[in-house]
Chains A and B, each alone.
With several copies, the nearest count.
Chain A
């Protein structure tokens, strides 16, 4: 157990497990860089932290840069270690996006993991650029009007050596990707969809179920892009056939944040998912 019990995550929050699964692979010689987010709180306080590896707390927009510096210094002293940024979607795709893009462009030798709970959760569920279309948040009381910012694709466009998506419901796939990423030099990016019971308005017991449905409906495809080569992974490999995918409603209906979607909006979402998979078919084929 690299992340200890009794931390401040909400009941049903997947973050502790996601972190533990990561650290299981990257091991003791890992430095976690954690920007302002729910994970800041989960990392305890001046009286104690759950992590067994060094944690560098970071200002909201600063983690890719802090990680760049850490890695440079560790390298200068000949220390082999994995520097991991562990950041939420807001820190990743909004305020920290320039810093992230800069680190990607410089091909910094760090592993960046975005755990994406699709809103600013630590401040109480506000919209981020990665909040999905239609979702309720406190700053989109009648649902977000824009589409989710496609961060993994954007990072891939930077030409970095490794980009992947992952899900807590597919732990082995996730850990396999971390393992692969660990051994690559340069900028590596893993984007992890991370359900949030209070923010997504689902029962705390449904965390894994919701994460699974995201994949099964095709809303959250599992893939990796290794040196430019796109590849669907795990169960997603079987989902290019639309019939194999569950309808998106199965995913949406479990979550209070989507309760007020209209039928049209649901159709828009379904169409968008189908369009995306059509592209995947082309990329794979």
Chain B
């Protein structure tokens, strides 16, 4: 195959294609693990895919990219996620 020269308009996969979107946050989701039942709903519904599951199945938020939308807090059945004001 022809090697396509760099002069052709292409993009390559990259983490943070829009930058460190964690800086966009106004409110920050904080998980109160004591309340967490590991139901994983936050993990399923985080619209940004910024919640990982630990080995022990506890959710962990990737604050580098979490945009602070609050969906996780909203879907958490035990109100284990609190949205707190970002301190900047």
Interface residues of A (CB under 8 A from B): 1, 3-17, 20, 43-52, 55, 168, 171, 197, 203-209
Contact = CB atoms under 8 A, between A and B. Distances in A.
A14 B11 contact: no
Contacts of B22: 6
A50 B11 CA distance: 10
A106 to B, nearest CB: 29
Contact of A205 (B17, B65, B73): B73
A48 B48 contact: no
B15 A205 contact: no
B58 interface: no
A163 B29 CA distance: 37
A133 to B, nearest CB: 27
Contacts of B9: 46
Given A9-B48, A48-B11, A51-B13, A208 B74 contact: yes
Contact of A44 (B14, B20, B48): B14
Contact of B12 (A16, A48, A204): A48
Given A5-B21, A7-B21, A15-B47, 20 more contacts: A5-B16, A7-B17, A8-B18, A9-B67, A11-B24, A12-B47, A12-B71, A17-B47, A17-B49, A48-B11, A48-B14, A49-B11, A49-B14, A50-B13, A50-B14, A168-B47, A205-B70, A205-B71, A206-B71, A209-B74
